[in-house]
């Protein structure tokens, strides 16, 4: 599992717009979601490739049994068919960009 971290020297200051543009340049369609504290997604799969990217808050992602906490500027690629789950960590909502590619 490889977490991509926002690089301000290469990518500029972290903004939702710049992160969205970066994901779109990679060929992904991007949707924005806000998940309140307590949100939990049990293990599941998708038949598409996706990237979960965090704008704000803390999001624990589990991919094929390994967990990592994503924070602002972090993203994680989830290949099609990979078993994964997620949950909001702490008392702040997570603002997330969900990037999908068929």
3-5 and 58-63: which strand pairing?
unpaired
Domains and CATH numbers, the chain: 3-101 (2.60.120.10)
pLDDT at 26: 95
Report the candidate in 98, 41, 52 with the shortest Cα–Cα distance to residue 78: 52
Taking residues 62-80, report their average pLDDT: 97
Q: Given pLDDT bands bounded at 50, 70 and 90, which one contains residue 67?
A: very high
pLDDT at 102: 78
Which DSSP string do the residues of 10-54 spell out, in sequence order?
HH-S--HHHHHHHHHHTT-EEEEEEE-TT-EEEEE--SSEEEEEE
pLDDT at 74: 98
3-state secondary structure at position 55 = strand
pLDDT at 40 over 90: yes
Taking residues 9-22, report their average pLDDT: 96
pLDDT at 45: 96
């Amino acid at each position: 599992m490889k977490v991509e971290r926002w690089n301000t020297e290469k990518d500029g200051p972290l903004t939702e717009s710049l992160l969205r543009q970066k994901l779109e340049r990679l060929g992904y369609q991007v949707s924005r979601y806000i998940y309140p504290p307590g949100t939990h997604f049990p293990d599941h799969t998708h038949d598409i490739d996706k990237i979960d990217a965090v704008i704000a808050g803390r999001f624990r992602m589990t991919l094929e049994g390994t967990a990592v906490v994503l924070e602002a500027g972090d993203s994680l690629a989830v290949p099609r068919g990979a078993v994964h789950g997620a949950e909001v960590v702490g008392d702040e909502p997570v603002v997330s960009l969900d990037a999908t590619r068929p």
